[in-house]
């Protein structure tokens, strides 16, 4: 089921992503009713599900929920990805008795990190951010104003502090020294930076609704990181999917012509991967850039406004 999502992304036909994610969730829930221990490979698959679900939820539009509800599919509200993996995924780092994780577990988790280049703690940070954004979107849709209730405003402040204070996990696992090559280490470092800065932008464009000049520094950091990743991959002859989520989030706030030119070149360069969903991204970005920054009292990100038209 998880491989079907990759096929959806590669082909550009993402209409059935929710169906495959829901199917994986049902399978996970069924297994939880009788399974008490999970192999390291199963834990790695749960992490992959968590990654795919979180990224999907971060850009899901409201209509998807309605369509899924009408069709009888239990479209997952926020928190489900975390709930599905709760009790399955051990925390990163040493076990409670001070021992390092098993070699097999470390190898499988390292493979997971190699696939996506995102530390698990950063993915959890994104999932929590998506949850807060979902609650804010629901409240603003009901009230029609930017202002938030005191409880939700406090939750936003707490989330913002968590994002700003987040620190990256060590890339090299002490249980499997040498597993991460210097080249992969640099790629993963820049992937982590790109995702973290994109989360800052994602939070700002949905929660704080900041003007573009406040985000330019983080946009520049994202494009610098993703350009570096592609340059290293080209030099090392590594053929791996580009970090399209941070690229899209950062580019959706890039209204300076110079920055737009950088993103246009990056998207042109990654056409060699023949990933269908990137064509959709570039079309949305073109519409966002044509629309330009909105000076009025917007209630959400510009890219969501474009997609909701």
b/e sequence 217-249, b meaning 16+ C-beta within 10 Å: ebbbbbbebbbbbbeebeeeeeeeebbbbbbbb
Number of alpha carbons in the 13 Å side-chain half-sphere of residue 308: 12
pLDDT of 24 reads: 81
Over its C-alpha atoms, the chain yields an Rg (Å, rounded) of 19
User: Quick count: other Cβ atoms within 10 Å of Cβ 305?
Assistant: 15
In this prediction, residue 35 carries a pLDDT of 73
**Is the separation of the CB atoms in 300 and 137 below 8 Å?**
yes
**pLDDT the model gives residue 85:** 52
Distances (CA, A) of 136 to 130, 195, 209: 10, 22, 12
pLDDT at 69: 39
pLDDT tens for each residue of the chain, 309 residues long:
777 776 666 665 667 787 888 888 888 878 777 777 777 777 778 888 888 889 989 998 864 443 443 433 333 443 445 555 554 444 444 433 444 444 444 444 455 555 677 888 999 999 999 999 999 999 999 999 999 999 999 999 999 999 999 998 766 554 444 556 789 889 999 999 999 999 999 999 999 988 778 999 999 999 999 999 999 999 999 988 899 999 999 999 999 999 999 999 999 999 999 888 888 899 999 999 999 988 767 899 999 999 988
pLDDT for position 210? 81
């Amino acid at each position: 089921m998880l491989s079907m999502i990759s096929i959806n992304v590669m082909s550009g036909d993402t209409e059935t992503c929710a169906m495959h994610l829901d199917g994986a969730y049902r399978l996970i829930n069924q297994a939880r009713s009788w399974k008490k221990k999970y192999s390291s490979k199963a834990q790695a698959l749960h992490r992959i599900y968590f990654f795919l679900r979180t990224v999907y939820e971060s850009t899901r539009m409201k209509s998807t929920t309605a369509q899924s509800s009408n069709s009888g599919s239990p479209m997952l509200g926020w928190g489900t990805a975390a709930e599905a993996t709760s009790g399955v995924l051990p925390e990163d780092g040493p076990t409670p008795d001070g021992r390092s994780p098993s070699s097999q577990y470390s190898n499988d988790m390292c493979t997971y990190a190699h696939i996506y280049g995102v530390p698990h703690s950063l993915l959890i940070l994104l999932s929590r951010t998506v949850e807060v954004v979902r609650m804010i979107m629901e409240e603003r849709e009901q009230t029609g104003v930017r202002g938030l209730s005191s409880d939700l405003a406090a939750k936003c402040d707490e989330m913002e502090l968590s994002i700003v204070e987040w620190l990256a996990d060590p890339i090299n696992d002490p249980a499997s020294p040498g597993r991460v090559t210097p080249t992969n280490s640099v790629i993963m470092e820049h992937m982590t930076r790109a995702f973290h800065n994109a989360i800052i932008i994602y939070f700002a464009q949905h929660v704080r609704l900041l003007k573009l000049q406040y985000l330019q520094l983080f946009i520049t950091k994202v494009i610098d990181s993703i350009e570096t990743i592609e340059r290293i991959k080209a030099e090392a002859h590594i053929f791996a999917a580009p970090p399209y989520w941070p690229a899209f989030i950062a580019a959706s706030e890039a209204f300076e012509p110079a920055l737009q030119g950088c993103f246009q070149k990056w998207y042109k360069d990654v056409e060699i991967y023949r990933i269908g969903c990137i064509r959709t991204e570039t079309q949305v970005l073109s519409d966002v850039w044509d629309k330009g920054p909105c000076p009025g009292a917007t209630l959400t990100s510009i890219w969501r406004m474009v997609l909701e038209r």
